[in-house]
Structure formats: structure tokens, C-alpha cells
Structure 1
């Protein structure tokens, strides 16, 4: 039961409210006036179906304003707002119906213009239901929130795709020079419906994709000149002007617009740099191949990397490309070296400190160390012996001595710390010129000096006109790089060639001979391949006669012949023809034996010329078969053809010998004790043993030590074997050389390895 006090309080409140709404009028006249004002105001705010013309009517704005003033004076405006919001929610099905109709049409045609029409139509609904500004921002904001909340809840997923396509259609095309905003109402509609805020990331993605498409279309494969200036000019003329509509809306002055565009402009410029950086990163292997014609692309990449942190991605991409396209058995060593040199030069343009080069070059250097012909290829390039004419060394590059790795000088006032992504071993190997970088692939330059000696020996012995000026110039250049002491042996070899010519002239003056050997000092020349060939008949007499005259001139010396090397010029007088040919000594020895009798079997021929394997013998006899001097009657039985015969149909084809009918004339060679003689059989370089072959032979001396270790101690690591071998007299090999030898022994099934432990294969 209500108390008397409560009844009195309620009655007082009721009377106060009645007086306020009645405005002190007689009876209920004031209350009737408020009722009419309420009815006019609510009817005006009630949502209308704009698709139905009958529901639309004209209102007297003076009466509307007076009605809202009366409601506000009676303090019933909040209640009216609740009624208004409730009416909005009851009529939201009209918006849903409109959106469904347009989106169904769009999903059938996929035309972004339908989305534009939908947006403009939604603005019409928004304006038709919106309260008048006189009601204040509170009601207006509440209405906008309610309208947008319902709208976003009913938009299907396909609307985002259509909205994105619509935004993309407003972007400037490549063919137009200027940007004209042909849809100002559409951008205003986006603002009204709140689509900018909701789809801000989507609008940005449209610009990002437009930038990516333009960069790829205009810059892919264009490496000669930098493209960043043109891209920035395109951005300022087209993209920035387009950005005024979505990103500088509401700006009063150009200063305000510039301030509003600053953030988006920086993001889009960053994305342009990133896109170009990604493109050049994908193209980096081909860019390196095309160097120096790709200098423009390298400059762009350098500038992009200073802004976009993608150095690690560049390293990963280039290392992966090198592994797939370069570091495999199908690639020629010279091609790998050429690409490595181009990589050095390109990455120094991109990153002068050399951190990127240090990370990219490591797999290439390790792979080149495993190739047996790497040193020879580098040395051949140093002396200009490249078959294709391409050189790893730039002719315009000054010749410098080999540079040692740089060490940190912390007392230098200009000292700077290493880049943050530099590894701990970065300073351990950073020579600046290309040759020093190539030589630093190996631990010591002694390997290169020995290979230089081998290659120089071959080149000297290949000279046919006696002009050694080119080789003399090469030695002088190599002295600058490797030092005077390292090239002393090469100077001795060059002097031997001059002395050999002088000695031969003296011997010829005492007793003329058709033999003209090249005489060299054995101790100062690389190891030459030996053979047990014995020259029969007149060749043996010529050797003995020349050796006798030489001993008279040099009584303290004795010739040691290398009869398997050189070229013999022969004139064969047969019954019906004369055959002239320049052939190898073994081929001359075989045809000399046919002066004794016309028919020989292979088994009888071989013992007469010393120890020769059957394949070499057959190859030598094939020369005379090709020239029609010999004929193979039965298998391994050969007959001299004094009279030429036509080829017998169905006869066994002769063993092919490439170039057998195209010979080059060269003197026959000899050597004295502590000396050796050699000359090329054909135009190829003489068969001097390479430095790897010599090292392999020398390492075999230490096999007994290794075998004893593994027998007594079982399994040993490579480091342990290396440490124990250092106790052996004369052992000076590196661990890499030992690893190569152990791998060769494993292939011969002498040892086996497991978990990096070596043991004998029993």
C-alpha cells in the first residue's frame, strides 16, 4: 500500500508535468496543442518508402520547426528520439530489399557501375530518412550510426569485390596524361555512407595493385637506365592527383590537402620502392649476367634497398638461383667464374661495404674449390688464354699486387663499424680487386703460382715461330701481381727456350741434322708425362747422332729423350705415289717398321716400339688407315699398300681419328739429363701434368702413414689425421687437399666414412 507521502509526491510530479505540457492554459487546451505538435513532428520523422510516390508529401517547414520547438519545450525530445529510432528499425526492410535487388543484378553481370548506382541509391534513402539539422548533432549522429550499422550488416561479401572494382575503375589509365575526377558525387556518397572508414584498407589495396601492375609492366627487363625517376614522375602526375578525392576530402586549402596526403603518399611511395625491389630481386641473376649493360637496374636496387629492408631476401634469392642455374655439374667452370666476377662487380655497386657479396659468394667459393680445373681457368684468364676471348680481368683495370685481407684499424679516426647484418667473419676476407678475390678462394697463392708454371710451360712449348714476346709480357704482368720471387721459375723456363734455340743452332753448325729438339731444364719445369716408347730404325740413329754432338758441346750434360712428344714430318715414297704428313712420334715409329716388311700384326708391332697400350696403338695405326697407306686385311692384321686400292665394299671401317688429315708442322724434340724436351702433337697444349695431378701423386707418398693410423687407431676424424700427418717429414698439405685425397681414396674403396669419421674399408 502506498503511503500518504508517496501519493502526495506522485501527485505533485503529475501536476508539474501537466502544467508544463499544458503551458498554463485553461482546462487542457495546452495539452491539446502539445498533442498536435507531437503528431506533426513524429509524422515528419517517420521513414517513408521513396519507391512509392504516394507516400511522399510536402511539409511546411515553419510548422515543422514550431512542432519540434513545442516538443523540446515540453522536454519530450528524448522520448521522440526513441520513437524515431524504433520507426527506423521497423522500416529497415526497405533498405534490405533495395540492397538485395542491386546486388543480385551485380552478381549476374559483375559490372562495377551497378555498385555505383547502389551507392547513390543508398544516399537517397539516407537523405530521405535523415532528421533536419535544427534537431542538433545528437539526433543526426544517432541516426547515422543506426543507418550505417544496419547497412553494413546486410551487405553481402560480393559487395567488397564490387566496391574494389569500382574504386579501381576511377584510377588513372596509362594512356591519359592527366587525372580528371568524373565522379565527384560518388566520392561524396562514400563519405556519407561511411564506406571510406570501413573499406580504407580495400581502397589502399587498389592503389597498391595499380602501382604493382604499372611497375611490372613498364620496368620488367628494363635494366639499362634507372627507372625510379620515371616512376616518381608518374606517381606525382597521376596517382597523387587521384588521391585528392579519397584522402584529401574536406581540405580547405592546398596546405591542408598536402598535410592530409603526406601519410598515404609516403605509404604508396614506399610500396612503389618495394615493388621495384621485389622485381629486381627476382631478376637479379639475369641482371648480373647482363652486366655492365644492367647498371641502371643496379642503381635502382641500391636506392630501393636503402629504404626497403629486403637485403636478406636478395641474398636468399640469389643464392637459390646460383644453386639451381650455376652450381651444378652441367655448368662450365669458366662460366661459373665469369658469373662470379660479375656478381662481385654488381654487388659492390649495390652494397659497397661488401656484406651482401660476402654472404652470396660463400657457396660459389666452396663449389669452385671442389672443381679440379678452377685454378687452371683462373690462371688461363690471367695470361689471356681464354678460348672464347673473354677475360675475367677488365683490360682497363689497373694491375695491382695481390691484396691481403683487410684488418681492423681502430686507431683510424675515420673508422666505422661494420653494417648490422655483417657476420663475425666478414673482415676475414675482403680484398677489393677481382683477381685478389679469385685467388683468395684458396688458402695460399702457391697453388696459383705452380699452375702458372704448368700453363706457361705449355704455352712456351706451343710457340712455333720462336717469338716469346707475348709470354715475356705476361710474366712481367704476373710479377706485379704475385711478386718477383714467385715468378723466378717462369723466367728460367723462358730463358730455357731462348737457350734451346741457341744450342740447336750450334749443334746444326757442327753437324747438320733434320732433328730440331727443344731442350729444357728438368728441375725448373713442371713434371711432364713420361712414356717408354722406343723409336726404331732411322729415328733411333738420328737421336744418337744428335745426342753425340750435344755431348761434345755440353760435356757435363746428357740428353734424356721424350720420344712420345713432338711431331715428325714424313715423306713416304711408295710405288705409285708420295705421301707427306706431319704425325705423332708413335705413328712415325709404326710406319717405320713397315719398311722392314709389308705385313704386321698388332701383337708383333707393339713390342717393337716399347710398352704401348693397345688403344693407343690402334689410334696411331688409324692415321695410316685414313691416309690409305695401310690396310687392315683381318682383325688386327695390317698390310702396307705400295699401290693404292679402292675401299672394299663391306670392309671393316677404319678407326676414326679426328683431324688425322690436317697436320701442323713442328720440330721433333729431345732433352738432356736434368733437362726435358716437349712439343705439342697437334694444336692442343702439351700434356704437362696439372698441379692437381702432381699433388695427387705426391699425396700417395703419405698413404702408408694414413693406412697405419687407421689400422692402429680405428676411426679418425679428418682433423686428427691432418694433425698426425704434420709430424711426417715434408708434409705441407692443407686440410682441404687432404679431404680431396681421402675422397679419392674412398672412391677407390680403400676407406669409408660415416659421421665424418674415416676408417679402412676391410
Structure 2
């Protein structure tokens, strides 16, 4: 307390005695009033004493003493008593404290009672303070002071008291009290949510007498608070509702003791916890139903109605003219009215924006965390993708999506254990899903980069891409919509639906269209990459870019098509023709010319086969010879190819039975007569042979490769062969025979034993030893098995083998360069070959093809590479 002591120098002793007597009486009166246990009668003595002390300029001393007395009393009778109510759970851990609060029913008993008592104490002290204020007012009115000055003094004194109350409580605040408040509001909101759900059941039963309809509504997975009639809710959830009254009284008491911010934080935290739980409940692992709108409806049904009723109870509902409110937010729907609320207050609108943003962010984080699974299920998970798109539009947290998804890709997909086919399917699904979220392609550019880099390092990437382009989804992995064949079909439909009369200057029109709808790139875009790459997300173009050039893809497709056509047992290739037409639309007719000739060869082969069989004379031979030759020739179908347009065919020596050789010669002779001067050169190791093996009790049919047929037919001549003799008779190496004959041994047709030499094996017909169950063959004569080439040997040379053969001519140039220069980098070798190898055959290979060839030379130990430079092997 500070006051001016110089005032006593000018006073007489009588005045000093009067001041001292008045001060003593004022202190005694103050103690009697504040500690009077509700008795305010002592306040009547306070007015003259205050007036006398103020007369001598001691007003500040009077105020300070009175407030100090209030503080000491409030600390004893208010603060200490208030915190004692919560002493029981002070040292309990959070989990145990929540159990204790639930068990003891704190929200209804302890918190309300403690707040009621401290507010009563505060209310009594404020009455005491008002007595002092009235005493000041009486003195100042006698001095004829302005009313504004009186009100200013009153508000200042009351503000000091309330600040003192808040300071006392906050300085002694136990750490667990905010958790108690959050628990209280959370429990009340859960009661409200349960109550609304109960209203929903009652409303459904009241609104319709049709029990079947009511049962269907209740059994629906989406039946919830959102089905409740708005008028019914507005009537039952208002400021007169008992639950709202209880909560409103607690909030009002907390505000009274200076805990306004703490109470708002507590019920805001409870609302957000409840909202987060609701989002998780509605969304969960269900990606096939949209949930965002359901969450927003729940926000209006529960927390907003609760807040509206609470504001009405507390008198906080200040309405405004939304045309002048100045609220601008992309989250704000029309604020003209809320269902069940009417025209909202500005505070309620702000709450709506906060809750909706939190819902968007929570659902966004939930979907981003499960984005890998969502994309695996795409397009069935399209609703989840749409929800995620809306959330990101509001939150703008696209970078969180990129970082999280790239981390998931590297941990779960881009690993040695994942097949290239699965990675490609996931990449296609990722492109489609992110195209929905971000049509500009900026985030796809960031997310797809690690996938593209990883796929470029896989040796079978090209083969898998071609398989997806031609066969759809043969392996059953991934969704059928991930097939690139569907993209080819969609591309063709778009081009067929275009008006070609208007496409004379299509490039100019496209350029003009791009200029009209130009927008700057997003801030997240990579400035090193041009925006033209993002204007149209072409899935096929992005997949082809993994390979490096379309020529490599076409070459791989040509090899795969040749393998497929050579292994066909009939002339049904309509699907191959359709696929080729689609590829011609996308890659151009010139690129697919050789493939088209290959299919034309099969068409011509079908026609030639029919002509040759029609030319068989019916009466030129008689008896058994005619029957044998006619039947055999009718069963022979040949695929006649133009060798200059097909990939190199794998040649393998093979001695076939003389009867079959005679048939081939007869067929070739008839072909020469029809197609003079062309002649046939048979590839005897290619094709398929249908066999019927006859045993004592059953016949079995097989469709096998010619080499398998040649092996088993040798056992017609003798029942036992050594591997060396059998290989020499068929005209193949022994190791090749040992691989191929395993098919018949595995079927139980042949038995294997060790011969005289350690490397010579003996094979015999296993009479009566066939285990039909073990080998998957059933008794009877109608079973036909079509076998694949289980050794993995193809009929056509692979692209790598073709490249190796074509590049062999440049090997001497490369060795000469490295001899002269010592060491060279890849790009330097590539540029040097382009510069000097201009004569036939001219060097026209890509950098990737050269790198593959050099890698082969390194593996053959002809070259070595270190720090990106190639050397001759020493």
C-alpha cells in the first residue's frame, strides 16, 4: 500500500487522531463484513468511515486494504476448499484417474458442488465489494462528480477483484484439473449423442406405422443421428434441456471464477475427441462408401446443436447480418440458416468452420495413412479417393500425402520380394487415383518418380508391360481395370468418337485450347520440369516412358506375338488382330508393320492348309496305304511364315520318325505345286504333336512338343534305351535329352535307372507303374494334356539375344576404341559409334541398348567397368 505521508505534516493532532480512529473502525468493520458469514448489516457503518478517510485522500489505502482482506478470506474459504474436492485424484495416473472419475460419478457430484460453493463465496464477496463501491459513490456524489467517473471507479475496483480471484485460482491450479474438465464435457457430449440416437429410434417409430419400413431404416448401416427430424431435435435439444442446463451452469460458474478460456478449451477438446472418434467409426477400413457428407451431417446434428443450445442458455447468441459479417472461407457453406438452428450466430459459424476443418483434416490423415490399400482396391475405392480430394482442397496439405505415400511405396512395394507385374499394376492404379486427386499431375510427378526409377532397373519390366498391353490381366494379379489393354481400348474409342473433319489443324486447336485454359503451376511443382508435361496425364505414354522408346516396346511385343502364334494349335487369332489394331492406333502403322505381316502369314497359312488338303487325290491310292496317308495328311497343319519379317527362330536339330518325315515332304511338295516357286524349310523342333498312348487297360492323350513326341515314339522300336543311344538316335545333345525326358518320367510313363557308366542313364517303359492320381491323369481314353515348355526354352530369340547378335558387329569397334583411349564413358562410346559407324550396318542403337550390350561384355569378362568408365579386361 502506497500513499503520500506528506499529508500528515499539514494536519493538526485532532485530525490525525480522527484518521487513526476512523482507520481502526474501518478495519474492524471490514473484518466483520467479510467474515460475517452472510451478515451484511456491518456494511451500514462502512459509508461514513470511507467518506472520512477519502476526505483525507486515503481512498487508495482503503481499496487496497479491502481487497487484501477479500483475498485472504477467499484464499481460505474459497480456494483451499475448492481444490480439496479434487485432492483424491491428484496423484493418480491418467488412465487410473479416468477410471476413478467414472466410478465416483464426478461430473454430476463433485465438480458441480465445488463450483457452486466457490461461486457462492465469490458472490458474497462481490456483494461486500459493492457495499464499498456504494460508499465511494455516496462520497463522490456529495462532491458532485460526473457519473462517468463514478462508473469508471466502480468497474476498475470490480476488475481488480476478479483479476485477484483468477490469479489465486490459477496460481494454485493442480495439473489434473484441466483433465477433469475435459472428462466432464466428454461424458456429457457422449450422453447427448446417445440421447440423439435414441430420439432417432423414437422418431422413426412415430413417423410411420409401417413396421417393415422402420425395421429397414434401423437395419441400414447408414442409419444414425443424421436420419432424425430437424424439428424434433430443435424441440428436444434446447436451452431448456436438462443436460444443456447442467453443462451451461458449469460453464457459467467456470466463467465466474475466471476460467472462461479453460472451460472453452475443455469442451472444445471434448468435441474434437468425439468428432475424431466419429470420423474413425464412419470411415474405418471401408473405402467403398463416401463418409465426408455423413460426418458433416453429424457435426450439425450433435456438436453444433449442443453449442447453439449452450450459447442460448449462456446468452452468447449474437446474430449478425451475414452480408456484412466479412466471414470468408472455402469451408463455409451457406450461413443463411442451419438445419434445426435457423440463422446462426457468428460464434456458431466460426465453430462450424473449426469443426469441419478438423473433420477434413482427420479424414485426410486417415485416408493418407491407408492410401496404399486404397489404391490397391481402386477403382472400387473411388469414394475414398473423392473424399480425400475434397479434404486436400480444404487443408492444402498435399505434401503430407506425397511424403507418406512415397514412404509406403519404398517400404511395401519397391522391394525385391514384389513382382514387376504387381509393381506395374500398382503404378497404373496410382496414376488413375492421383489423376482424380490432382488433374495437373504435379503430385503424381513426385510420387511416381521412385516407382519409375525402380522399374527401370528391373530386367523384365518391358516384358511385363507388353503382357499388360496384350493379355490384359492373365495372371489374376491386380484389378482388371489396371490392364493397359483397357487403356488402349479407351484410347481407340476416343479417337473413333472424334470428328476427323474438324481435326485438320488439331495441333493448332489444341495449342489454342491450352492457351485459353492456362493456369500457373502449383507452388509444389518442380520448376525444372515444364508444365506442358502435366497438361494431360496419358497413362500409356507414362508407361512407355519407363522403357525409353516405343521401338523397344514394339520389338518386345513382336517377340511375344511370334511366340504366341507359333504355339497356337489352331488358327483362332481374332484377339491378336484386335490388339494389333489398337497398337497401330497408338503407336502408328509403320511401327507395327512387321507384326501385321506376321498375322497375315497365319491367315495365308490357314488358306494354304485348306488348299493343300483339298488337293489330296481321292482315288490315286488304294488299300491301307491310301488310308494311312490320307488320314495322316489331313491331321497335319502347318504355320508358314515369312522369315524376313519374323524374329529369329531358335533352331534345334531333331530326327523325327520316318513316317512323319515322309508326311512333311509330301506336304512341302504339294505346297511347291500351289505356291511355285516358293519352297518350305521345316523347323522340326517347333509346333505341337497330339499323341495317344495305348496301354493294356487304358488310353491316354497328350499334346506335347515335337521333341517329347520323338522321344516317346522311339520306345515303339525297343522298350529300353540308354541316354547316349537315345540322344544319338534323336539327334540332340545328351544334356538336352535328360532335361526333356523328365516329362515322361514325371508322368510315370518311363522309368529311369543308372546304367554302366555314372553319366549314362537307362530309360524303360514302366508297364503297370503309372500312378494316375500322383500325376493328375485319370483312367479312360479322353484325357488330353497340353503341356508348356517347362524348361523355359522359347521358340523365338528374345530381344536381348537379338540385340546381342546385332551388336556383335560393333564389338571390334569398341575394343579398338578402348585399346586406343584406355578408358571411355558410356555416352562417349555411344557418340563415337554414331560418328564412325555410318556404313552398313549403320549404328542406330539407343544408349540403353548399348549399356545392356556392354554389361554383357563385362559379364563375359571381356571388359570391366569402374567409376562409370569401361576398360579392357587385363
TM over 0.5, shorter chain: yes
Match of 1:43 among 31, 34, 41: 31
More displaced stretch, 516-525 vs 250-259: 250-259
Q: 1:523 to 1:163 in 2, by over 3 A?
A: same
Q: 1:613 to 1:161 in 2, by over 3 A?
A: farther
Aligned to 1:87: 69
Output the CA distance in 2 between the equivalents of 1:47 and 1:353.
74
Aligned to 1:533: 654
1:414 aligns with 2:513: no
Query: 8 Å contact 1:287–1:297 — kept in the other structure?
Result: yes
Aligned to 2:367: 280
More displaced stretch, 364-373 vs 342-351: 364-373
Output the CA distance in 1 between the equivalents of 2:512 and 2:725.
74
Q: 1:69 to 1:227 in 2, by over 3 A?
A: farther
- Residue 699 of structure 1 deviates from its aligned partner by 3.9
- Residue 602 of structure 1 deviates from its aligned partner by 1.0
Aligned to 2:333: none
Aligned to 1:3: none
Question: What's the CA shift string for 1:548-587, capped at 9, x where partnerless?
Answer: 4444555543433221112234567899998765443223
Aligned to 2:418: 331
- Residue 370 of structure 1 deviates from its aligned partner by 2.9
Output the CA distance in 2 between the equivalents of 1:64 and 1:663.
118
Match of 1:483 among 578, 588, 591: 588
Q: 1:201 to 1:680 in 2, by over 3 A?
A: closer
Match of 1:150 among 163, 168, 183: 168
- Residue 14 of structure 1 deviates from its aligned partner by 0.2
Q: 1:738 to 1:306 in 2, by over 3 A?
A: same
- Residue 305 of structure 1 deviates from its aligned partner by 1.1
Query: 8 Å contact 1:461–1:686 — kept in the other structure?
Result: no
Output the CA distance in 2 between the equivalents of 1:162 and 1:551.
100
Aligned to 2:118: 122
> Where do 1:469-508 residues align within 5 Å?
469-508=574-613
Q: 1:735 to 1:121 in 2, by over 3 A?
A: farther
Output the CA distance in 1 between the equivalents of 2:821 and 2:76.
91
Question: Secondary structure, in 3 states, of the residue corresponding to 1:338?
Answer: helix
Query: 8 Å contact 1:526–1:689 — kept in the other structure?
Result: yes
1:621 aligns with 2:741: yes
> Where do 1:702-741 residues align within 5 Å?
702-727=810-835, 728-729=837-838, 730-741=842-853
Question: What's the CA shift string for 1:698-756, capped at 9, x where partnerless?
Answer: 34544444444445434443333333333334333323333444445555555554444
Q: State the TM-score, normalized to the length of structure 1.
A: 0.82
- Residue 58 of structure 1 deviates from its aligned partner by 4.7
Query: 8 Å contact 2:311–2:317 — kept in the other structure?
Result: no
Question: Secondary structure, in 3 states, of the residue corresponding to 2:762?
Answer: strand
Q: 1:225 to 1:569 in 2, by over 3 A?
A: closer
1:397 aligns with 2:397: no
Aligned to 1:560: 681
Match of 2:157 among 139, 142, 165: 139
Match of 1:175 among 181, 185, 194: 194
Question: What's the CA shift string for 1:46-78, capped at 9, x where partnerless?
Answer: 456xxxxxx664525544445544544454332
Query: 8 Å contact 1:565–1:681 — kept in the other structure?
Result: no
Output the CA distance in 1 between the equivalents of 2:377 and 2:114.
53
Greater relative contact order (Cα < 8 A, sep 6+)? 1
Q: 1:360 to 1:744 in 2, by over 3 A?
A: farther
Output the CA distance in 2 between the equivalents of 1:260 and 1:629.
87
Aligned to 1:676: none
Q: Of Structure 1 and Structure 2, which has the larger fraction of its residues in helix?
A: 2
Question: Secondary structure, in 3 states, of the residue corresponding to 2:721?
Answer: strand
Output the CA distance in 2 between the equivalents of 1:575 and 1:317.
67
More displaced stretch, 330-339 vs 389-398: 389-398
Output the CA distance in 1 between the equivalents of 2:347 and 2:851.
66
Question: What's the CA shift string for 1:325-348, capped at 9, x where partnerless?
Answer: 222233333332222222222112
Q: 1:176 to 1:758 in 2, by over 3 A?
A: farther
Q: CA RMSD in A?
A: 4.1
Query: 8 Å contact 2:318–2:346 — kept in the other structure?
Result: no
More displaced stretch, 693-702 vs 361-370: 693-702
- Can you give the 5+ residue segments of structure 1 that lack an aligned partner in the other structure? 1-8, 22-27, 49-54, 667-678
1:103 aligns with 2:190: no
Match of 2:303 among 212, 235, 239: 239
Match of 1:698 among 801, 806, 830: 806
Aligned to 1:251: 316
- Can you give the 5+ residue segments of structure 2 that lack an aligned partner in the other structure? 1-5, 134-153, 197-232, 238-242, 322-343, 497-505, 618-629
